[in-house]
Copies of this chain bind each other. A is one copy, B any other.
Amino acid sequence: MKPLSPTDQLFLWLEKRQQPMHVGGLQIFSFPEDAPDDYVAKLADQLRQYRRASPPFNQNLSYWLGQPGWVEDQHLDLEHHFRFEALATPGRIRELLSFVSAEHSHLMDRERPLWEVHLIEGLQGRQFALYTKIHHSLVDGVSAMRMATRILSKDSQETGMPPIWALPEREQSGASNGDLSLWSSVAHLLGSSGRQLGTLPTVAKELLKTINQARKDPAYSSIFHAPGSVLNQKITGSRRFAAQSWCLKRIKAVCQAYGTTVNDVITAMCASALRTYLINQDALPNKPLIAMIPVSLRHNDSSTGNKVGVILANLHTDLADASERLKHIHSGMQEAKQRYHQMSAEEIVNYTALTLAPAAFHLLTGMAPKWQTFNVVISNVPGPDTPRYWNGAKLEGMYPASITMDRLALNMTVTSYNNQVEFGLIGCRRTLPSLQRMLDYLEGGLAELEAAAGL
């Protein structure tokens, strides 16, 4: 039995009925040229031949002396993990998103390896989709995205390509991996990195002590100032997934006009969408919303390669003018990056952990602290920048579906693919009604910046 890392244990603890801890990804493909009408059904038959799962897809949760660990699953029931499904008429993107919303709401069966792959036919315009769902304790969001990309090829002629669960296992690279480090740093904060985390109450007590110390420390006090908002309520178990692609060229044109980065414009689009959404709900806080944005930080003096930090970005949702908002977001991001460059590796880990600590504390205890460090998570995971194919079918778009948690009812994850910027929003369906309108508001945010710049 391979013991679970403290971070992976955290994901099991955090999971509850209304808070499943799996990440998902939706990929849309178009049929290869000259493909027959039953192309997807034939593909399903081919995939059903891959009856052996590679790590981590063959790992099953097991307990030994109360400690969770992974054991190899001896009776893989492929029909449980791989599902061939169809969209109802008329098979638009709307039906696809509603399908993914429902599937992303369901807890997975802990008695089996914690993953599902849904091959979906019935999408209009000779397209089909693949929705992949993996538990966060098995693989983190960034790795999941990488795996989903690894099944693809640059070669439109390549065939016989295996599904994700049958990919040959790859050596783990030494570099610590983005997403995981965020929660690892909470584990680090607890001084138990590498060891078992112990019991929940102990963890919560230690966390609270650390948070209270940090709040008195002027160096850290500024991170406890996010306003309350409807985004930061208890959530229910049902989800709404909304996803859309934007043309990278449009975003780059805005960057040039304002002298900002692509990330700044993406953040400004999110800020604008959140502002409009909250105004329509009559729920915009007076104080600006704060977004937690994971960033990759390369330190030349660090031997461990990539480091990940978080930026607490002021979204300036109190400002009505879109260009003003973008400019402020840009300078805020610049300052935060500057600050990081002056920090030691140790300081970065501490800062990151403290940013997450109140959320972790609430999640572990169910107690809602009065202080909030951020209102929403906006992450950006780069994807491939040229076309990709899977057994001859061209990938048209890929959209991340991440995790929402109590007091973090919305997650906005962005990726990039072949001159597109791909937004995947996942939210609690009850706490955040009509979440799909956020897509229009994102477009509105971009259009407003274009108009102001005379584009």
Q: Are A18 and B236 in contact (CB under 8 A)?
A: no
Q: Are A236 and B430 in contact (CB under 8 A)?
A: no
Q: Are A89 and B121 in contact (CB under 8 A)?
A: yes
Interface membership of chain A positions 357-391, coded 1 if the CB is closer than 8 angstroms to chain B and 0 otherwise: 00000000000000000000000000000000000
Residues A112 and B17 in contact in the complex (CB < 8 Å), given A85-B88, A86-B88 = no
Question: Given A86-B86, A86-B87, A109-B237, list of 9 further CB < 8 A pairs?
Answer: A17-B107, A75-B433, A77-B429, A77-B433, A80-B238, A86-B122, A107-B107, A112-B236, A112-B430
Q: Are B41 and A109 in contact (CB under 8 A)?
A: no
Give the chain B neighbours of A217 by CB distance below 8 A. Answer: none
Q: Are A44 and B85 in contact (CB under 8 A)?
A: no
Q: Are A86 and B89 in contact (CB under 8 A)?
A: yes
Residues of A within 8 A of B (CB): 17-18, 38, 40-41, 44, 75, 77, 79-80, 83-90, 98-99, 102, 105-107, 109-112, 119, 121-122, 236-238, 429-430, 433
Question: In the complex, what distance in Å separates the CA atom of A107 from the CA atom of B99?
Answer: 17
22 A-B residue pairs with Cβ-Cβ distance under 8 Å, sorted by A, are: A17-B107, A18-B110, A38-B89, A40-B89, A41-B89, A44-B89, A75-B430, A77-B433, A79-B98, A80-B238, A84-B88, A84-B89, A85-B86, A86-B86, A86-B87, A86-B122, A88-B122, A105-B109, A110-B237, A111-B237, A111-B430, A122-B122
Q: Are A109 and B44 in contact (CB under 8 A)?
A: no
Per a CB cutoff under 8 Å, which of B98, B99, B105, B110 touches A17?
A: B110
Give the chain B neighbours of A84 by CB distance below 8 A. Answer: 88-89
Q: Are A77 and B112 in contact (CB under 8 A)?
A: no
Q: Are B112 and A238 in contact (CB under 8 A)?
A: yes
Nearest 7 A/B pairs, CB to CB: A111-B236, A41-B89, A86-B86, A109-B237, A84-B88, A86-B88, A106-B106
